[in-house]
Structure 1
Amino acid sequence: MAIDTLNRESSHLANPTLLRKIDELREKNIGQHVPLPQLVVVGDQSSGKSSLLESLTNIPFPRNLELCTRYATQITSRRDLHSQVDITIIPGPHASDAHRKHLEEYHPGMLSPEVFRVVFPRIIKEVNIRMGIRTDTSSSDGNVFSEDVLKVEICGPNEDYLTLIDVPGIFRTPTEGITTKKDIKLVQNMVKGYIKDKRTVILAVLPSNVDPATQEILTLAEDYDKAGERTLGVLTKPDLVTELSAQAAVCNVVLGKKKPLALGYYVIRNRGADDDDNFDRLSVEQLFREKPWSALPADRLGVQALKTRLSELLGQITRREFPELRKDVKKQLIDCQRELDSLGPARQTEQEQRLFLSTVSRQFQELVQAALNAHYYSHSAFEESGELKLITHVVNLTERFNSDFDEKAQLRYFEPQSNNDTEEDADDSEEVEENTWADVSAKQELVDDVDLEDPVLENIITKDYDFDYPQDGIMDWLEGLYLRSRGVELGTFGGAILSSAFKEQSSKWEIMTKVYVSNVIIVIHRFMIITLKMLCTDVRVHEEIWSSVLDEVLNRYRAAVDQAMFLVSIEREKRPYTLNHYFNKKLQVSRGNRMAAMLKGKARKELQPGPFGKGVVTSENLIVDLDSVRHSTTSKSNVEHIKEEIHDILWSYYKVARKRFVDNIYHQAIDHCLLTGPMSPLAVFSQEWVIKLEAEQLETIAGESPTTKERRTTLVKKIHDLEVAMRILRH
């Protein structure tokens, strides 16, 4: 007998440990994230749901007031050595922290089954008050229905492993002063929420005296269980079916001849509203020994048959779905963590906000230093975006500026010098050649690829790139300048003439310098925008950071332009002067070349005695007589001599000033003001800047938007729930 009982139990009972895990998951509200294996009792308010629950659990649910149908009730029975009942409230998925705490504090203590059955009506009223359910029909305070769940756990040596969830009964007509049309929809949505998943077995409670084809609950179940594979029909109140034709119709339903379900139908006789507490289940179920009920399969009749079948179904679905349940929880945990990571570090407190901005600013400065030192191997961003190779772009623009400046910065071409240059001249010529070899398309790309459309730069940068080559006729221009400006000088000219000549000859320096500095500013501007966007994926925070630093960044751009213009004015507005020995060398070379050019027509080739006493040319050296040297300048007018002198001095000084100026512009305006100096725009967004921010500024810049806060809070809670679920499922 004991062996037979054990075999019978093992045939339909799932592993108690698995069932206990599912109950624990449900208690932790994991069901709001992943569907859990469960048996859900659904039906109309008048279908006999409460009586069925009492028959299955021996819990005396109030049937007239239907107070327990205002929220879901989870009834769990499990086998234990000691008989006791535990009552708790599981807060709904959207419960506030205060409401959650208020519900979790409710615990009437462990009760014996006998005491529990006596005090259960009082417990229901207490639970309603805790949940905020309206109990006084004359009052409008409180809710009619709640998302909270009442949990009743029954333990004892004779209990079967079974968990049922009872949801509020469906109704179609509002009760004046109590329920509304909105409540009708709310209950329907609550029922749908419980029956929609494939891991739920739907216990559709149907009165036997009503045609199942007309029952809304079956129609609702079909919406989510189209094949009827997980819907089990429970026909109640068979004693109210007195007509033979009606009884035959019910039998046809049970036999699958009408509105068939894969799990079939069961017929149950429960205690009615008029039955007293001495209700004897065995005696009332004598009904099933009479025709036509006796013709039905015995395993489809009575509470015990249904209870056995429900335990079997719960065991099957638990064993089948447990591995998939673990996979679902793990996948959701990974997805939630990935989404939470995409939101970046939490930025809800001042400390979190300052730490977040400090981290971003540190990463920004690390990329700045790598970009300035050409350490492009240090971060993958440099390979992904060539626009971040900052120093390379600046060097290319600087070489282009130097080349253009050498070719086009002078207003008029100087007279060509002879080939008898010094070593410095030769090096200078090679430099020009090297600067003009570069690939034109590559240089054009450097310029055209610069974004000039940011309106904030409109009043800072200069967009003109077209520079004409120098004009001819420098000697005529110098002669006119001298004739318009000379004073009473004896065989020479005043310093004012040289100042005027240099200022006009360098008149393109200002615009060419502005364009060069503007190009570097644009490259830096682009670098900063791209880097910030890359480091700060939150669009709102990125925009707030940029907006907060932009004014200072623009001020530093202006300071660099002002420094460049200051250097231009120093070169062009002051009297030409230099201590560079290169000036004297260039001037002496120029004068020597000019003298050689004048004497070249009067030179002769040197003759040396040859064999047999005849004179022959033995050298390419040219010989000039002293008289020729003495009289070489006598044919020149004073004006001719002066303009040549002005030209040679201007040319020699221009060469020195140009080199000095290009170097100064790079070192002072570009490198110091824009790249590496303490007032570089690249240094604005720094950890020091973050430290100085006030709390309100921090909140404005780095504080999370309400949407992000809400989403982060939801994800953190869900991850916590799923981690709890993983621990439950793992052990």
Structure 2
Amino acid sequence: MSFTFPTMSQVEEVPVFQGSQEAPEQGGNNPTKEEILKDPFASKSSQILFDAIDQLQSCDASQVIDIPQLVIVGGQSAGKSSLLQSLTSIPFPVSHGLCTRFATRIISRRTPPKSRDEVVITIVKPDFELDHIFNYANDSPYDKYVYRAETLDSQTFAELMEEVTEKYMGIKSGIQPSAKNFATEVLKIELSGPQRAHFSILDIPGHVSNAFRIHKWEMEGIESMIVEYMKKPWNIVICVSDASNDLENQPIFKLAEEHVESTRLIPVFTKCDKAATPEDVVGIATGENQHFRAMKHGWFVVRNHIGDEGASFDLDDAETTLFGSAPWSRVQSRRRGSRKLRDYLGGLLCAKIREEFPQMQEQVKFLLDEQMELKDVLGEPRADHRAQLQYLMKIVEGYDAKVRQALKSPWDLPEKQMQLRSIVSIRNKEFDKDMMNQGHTYEFEQPRLTYRQDPPATDQMELPPTHEGSPQPKAKRNGSHKKSTQKSPMDNSPQPSAELRAEIQKQIHSFQSSQLPGLLNPDIFPVLYRKQTKKWRSIARDHLLRVSRDIAMAADSLLAEHLEAYDNLQPVIEDMGYKVEKKALDELDKYCSQEDNFPFFTTNPEFTWRLEENRLIRFKNYTFEHLQEVWDKVTKQPNNGVLFDASLNVMYARIHPSAALHTEDEAHDILKAYYELSVRSFIEYVNKRIVEDMLLSEQGPLLGLSTKYLLSLSEAEIEEIAREDETKQVQREQCLARIARLTKANKLAENALRETRPLPVEAVTLRDSSHG
């Protein structure tokens, strides 16, 4: 008959009988739940799982996965050490006070018949980080301690505890600043032998109610540590309460009720032989006392082994005698005595292991995959030049592929700042807009035919006042509105066209000092052009700096995908970025300087077309205005020859090439036509030549980081870039160590699950029929 391993739900269903009632007997050949709990490790599958858990702990898997375990908690002097001695057969130095200064994990395992007994004692790290609780200096040589023997008597154990406490745990009692009253490490005691039972239990320092001869923060730290162990959902908590003390005066039980689910809490009364009021303890244990809520697993009562009772003392006999008498006999028999407690705990632990083991195995696999990914990120060690070059080649090839994607198909990249071609396209359009709207110092006049009803393009149609001696237009004589030329201090917009007209008048007056009046000196144009284009350099410089920042951010993001090389290669692409930026700014300065000093000429036929168009518009407007005026006067006053003659003089002054106003118009229109062609050339040069060179330069941060660049470096330079810092080396070593532990743990878990996997129904039927 196969043996069925209990689940947690089955263990929880075991009834808790009150008073003197006993569990009902069950007939047939099937084992009762009582028998299952009495010998919880009788099945082969449960032994396999328990051995697997023990091996997981031995390879430090408890540092990264959640391993079910029994945890015993209690107040100081509550009888925990005596209970541990009863459960584990380890001669804990009762009343010695040393073993309560750090956690102790006891692992007992049964070995094959005729194998020898063995005791192995080591010191290991705790299940979780405790430094933030105690903040002790981690300078004790705890990991160097190992003790091996076949047996362990009480005197030897007491001496070992003293040595471990002082030499390896570094505990120094007292309240002086250098005192260390507790340790965060765990004393691990492994017991094995053919007569041993499979068992695992963790004892943690007792809860401290008063900070006597210890620091107050240490007292608070102990409570925090107890709570941390209590809260772990995979821990089964044995809460020890002193029967000789009122339960309401024991804060450990209140902590357990607050932080431990009822399915994981096993309450135990110790020192029952010392109870001052046994009736009160029995009332709580049986549930007769309604003041205390009933416990899911019921209360256990035990007697303590007192040190002076001699070597011949039999705890089983003593507990049978004590609990066989009133009022203790009212407690259910399966809840009386250390042996019954041990059997129940074993069954509960086995059920928890069976329930949690598949999840534990999945957790091991997940953590192993995580560490393997980290190993890939860290890469292989780079000990020589060849390995260093291969490492850099691989990184650079991946980076180059991403860069080309950013320049050709940026929409496929995940982060917006990587989509460089799209970003630069937007920057170029913004530069174009800025140059067209704000690149000129003065607004140009926008002539249009006044006798057509087209809506005006701008408000710059009115002719500004001419210089002294020039005839005034009719609109001005009639008092047309004149806009203010005052600018806001923060306004970067071009100045009104009236300011340009004034500047033209000023320059004409200046250049006519050495020539005949009414003639236009061509040397005026370079002067006006430099004034009109003086903002080009600053606007273009801002544009190039923005593009440079965009390139730097894109390169940084693309390189950041190769985390293992980022710290060493980032300075390289940053330096390349600075050089390309400087080259672009120098190219801009060179272009602007040449633009200022080149002769004022063009062979573009569009210049003539634009100039003639403006001239024709002005001629048509002047002619229309004054022909209409002359015609009205002549038809209304045909004999007024003087008025007609005067009107013709005005037309002549406006239209004749030697007229002053016409000279200003000519200067304005030539400057305008030339500027409109030049600004477009400038925008195209900046965007197509300078910006594109920043993007595609083989010395830049994008295409400059290439295999060609790597091959141009010396071995010393390659080593400088590819070297690993000590932190990364340590990180790789730790990663490899974790991989080794987790690989071993994963193999152990897989083997355990495979060996304990239930047989299919067909296999069981076939096996039973063959046995028949």
| Shorter-chain TM-score tier | 0.5 to 0.7
Give the direction of change, closer, same or farther, for the CA distance of 1:265–1:410 in structure 2 (3 Å limit). Answer: closer
Secondary structure of 1:313's match?
A: helix
Give runs of aligned pairs for residues 430-441 of structure 1, distance below 5 A.
none
Gaps of 5+ in 2: 4-28, 450-489, 620-654, 752-772
Q: What CA distance in whole angstroms lies between the structure 2 residues aligned with 1:191 and 1:507? A: 81
Q: What is the CA–CA distance in structure 2 between the aligned matches of 1:583 and 1:12, rounded to whole Å?
A: 104
Q: Please state if 1:289 is matched with 2:318.
A: no
Measure how far apart 1:249 and its partner are. Answer: 2.5
Q: Secondary structure in 2 aligned to 1:12? A: coil
- Confirm whether residue 276 of structure 1 aligns to residue 276 of structure 2: no
Task: Give the letter aligned to residue 593 of structure 2.
Answer: F
| Structure 1 partner of 2:535 | 511
- Aligned pair in 2 of structure 1 residues 562, 77: CA closer, same or farther (>3 Å)? same
Change (3 A) 1:296 1:655: closer
* Aligned 1:173-212 pairs, distance under 5 A: 173-176=210-213, 179-212=214-247
SS at match of 1:261: coil
Alignment match, 2:141: 102
After TM superposition, the structure 1 stretch with the greater mean CA deviation from structure 2, 289-298 or 549-558, is 549-558
CA apart distance, 1:279: 1.5
1:486 aligns with 2:515: yes
SS at match of 1:317: helix
By how many angstroms is 1:71 displaced? 0.9
Give the secondary structure class of the aligned counterpart of 1:307. Answer: helix
Q: How does 1:712-731 map to 2 (within 5 A)?
A: 726-731=746-751
Aligned equivalent of 2:270: 236
* 3-state SS of paired residue (2:184): coil
What is the match of residue 500 of structure 1?
A: 524
Does the 8 Å contact 1:475/1:647 carry over to 2?
A: no
Shift of 1:65: 1.3
Matches within 5 A, 1:678-693: 683=700, 687=705
TM-score, structure 2 normalization: 0.62
Q: Secondary structure at the match of 2:146?
A: coil
Equivalences for residues 313-462 of structure 1 within 5 A: 313-327=348-362, 375-377=409-411, 379-381=413-415, 389-393=422-426, 396=429
User: How far does residue 272 in structure 1 lie from its aligned partner after superposition?
Assistant: 0.8
Secondary structure of the residue aligned to 1:206 is: strand
Query: 2:86 matched to 1:48?
Result: no
Measure the CA separation in 2 of the matches of 1:475 and 1:141: 88
Aligned to 2:492: 464
Q: Is the 8 A contact 2:441 2:534 kept in 1?
A: no
For the pair 1:147 / 2:188, whether they are aligned, the reply is no
Cα distance in 1 for residues equivalent to 2:229 and 2:307: 28
One-letter code aligned to 2:296: A
Distance 2:177 2:535 in 1: 80
Aligned to 1:631: none
1:299 equivalent in structure 2: 334
Query: 1:124 is matched with which residue?
Result: 161
Question: Is 2:48 the counterpart of 1:17?
Answer: yes
Q: Residues 559 and 726 (structure 1 numbering): CA distance in 2 closer, same or farther, change over 3 Å?
A: same
TM-aligned CA deviation for residue 52 of structure 1: 1.4
CA distance in 2, matches of 1:414, 1:236: 108
How far off is 1:261 after superposition?
1.7
Give, in angstroms, the shift of residue 36 of structure 1: 2.9
Of 398-407 and 269-278, more deviation after overlay is shown by 398-407
Please tell me whether the aligned partners of residues 549 and 684 of structure 1 are also in contact (alpha carbons under 8 angstroms): yes
Q: 1:167 aligns with which of 187, 191, 204?
A: 204
> What are the superposed Cα offsets for residues 298-354 of structure 1, whole Å, 9 maximum, x if unpaired?
22222221221111111122222223444556667789999x89xx979x9999999
Residue aligned with 1:299, SS: helix
C-alpha change, 1:355 and 1:199, in structure 2 (3 Å) is same
Shift in alpha-carbon separation, 1:651–1:87, aligned structure 2, 3 A: same
Residues 329, 140 of structure 1: alpha-carbon distance in 2 compared, 3 angstrom cutoff? same
Q: Give the Å deviation of 1:476.
A: 9.8
Structure 2 counterpart of 1:313, one-letter code: L
Q: Write out per-residue CA displacement over residues 196-239 of structure 1, whole angstroms, 9 at most, x where no aligned residue.
A: 2232222222333333343222112111136x333222222333
Q: Distance in 2 between matches of 1:410 and 1:294?
A: 110
Q: Are 2:105 and 2:187, in contact at CA under 8 Å, matched by a contact in 1?
A: yes
Count of equivalent residues: 613
Q: What residue is the counterpart of 1:563 in the other structure?
A: 590
CA contact (8 A) 2:102 2:186 kept: yes
Does residue 329 of structure 2 align to residue 309 of structure 1? no
Q: State the alpha-carbon separation in 2 of the partners of residues 104 and 406 from structure 1.
A: 74
Give SS of 2:72's match.
Answer: strand
Deviation, 1:151, is 1.2
**8 Å CA contact 1:510, 1:565 repeated in 2:** no
In 2 relative to 1, CA 658–202 (structure 1 residues): closer, same or farther, beyond 3 Å?
closer
**What residue number does 1:134 align with?**
171
**CA shift in 2, pair 1:328/1:222, >3 Å:** farther
Q: Following the alignment from structure 1 to structure 2, what is the Cα–Cα distance between the partners of residues 665 and 164?
A: 79
Seq. identity, %? 19
Q: Structure 2: which amino acid aligns with 1:265?
A: W
Whether the 8 Å CA contact 2:265–2:297 is kept in 1: the answer is: yes
Report how far residue 395 of structure 1 moved. Answer: 5.3
TM-score, length-scaled by structure 1: 0.65
Distance (Å, rounded) in 1 between the aligned partners of 2:559 and 2:100: 54
Closer, same or farther: CA 640–209 of 1 in aligned 2, 3 Å: closer
Looking at structure 2, the residues matched to 289 and 514 of structure 1 have their Cα atoms a distance apart, in angstroms, of: 101
Structure 1 residue 74, shift from structure 2 partner: 1.0
Query: CA offsets per residue over residues 262-310 of structure 1, 9 Å max, x none?
Result: 2112222232132112212344233333333344432222222122111
**Distance in 1, Cα, partners of 2:733 & 2:281:** 52
Match of 2:309, SS state, is: coil
For residue 150 of structure 2, what is the aligned residue in structure 1? 112
- Structure 1 residue matching 2:105: 3-state secondary structure: strand
Distance 1:399 1:195, change over 3 A: closer
Aligned to 2:11: none
Give the stretch that moved more between structures: 514-523 or 72-81: 514-523
**What whole-Å deviation, never above 9, does each CA across 1:166-200 have from its counterpart, x for those lacking one?**
11222333444xx3333322322222222222322
Kept after mapping to 2: 8 A contact 1:19/1:318 = yes
Equivalent position SS for 2:121: strand
Q: 1:411 to 1:317 in 2, by over 3 A?
A: closer
One-letter amino acid of the counterpart of residue 494, structure 2 = D
Deviates more, 1:386-395 or 1:182-191: 386-395
Aligned residues of 1:567 and 1:664 also touching (Cα < 8 A): no
The answer for the alignment partner of 1:225 in structure 2 is 260
Unaligned segments of structure 1, at least 5 residues: 417-461, 598-636
CA contact (8 A) 1:37 1:318 kept: yes
**Offset of residue 253 of structure 1:** 2.5
Give the letter aligned to residue 106 of structure 1.
Answer: Y
Paired position in structure 1 for 2:249: 214
Please give the per-residue CA displacement for 1:25-77, whole angstroms capped at 9, x wherever unaligned. Answer: 44455545554322112222322221211111111111131222211111111
| Matching residue's letter, 1:200 | N
- Rounded Cα–Cα distance in structure 2 between residues aligned with 1:301 and 1:404: 95
Task: Flag the 1:411–1:502 CA change in 2: closer, same or farther, 3 A.
Answer: farther
1:676 is the counterpart of 2:693: yes
Which stretch of the first structure deviates more once superposed, 641-650 or 141-150? 641-650
Q: Kindly tell me: are residues 662 and 294 of structure 1, through their superposed partners in 2, closer, same or farther at Cα, counting changes over 3 Å?
A: closer
Task: Work out whether residues 266 and 299 of structure 2, in 8 Å CA contact, stay in contact via their aligned partners in 1.
Answer: yes
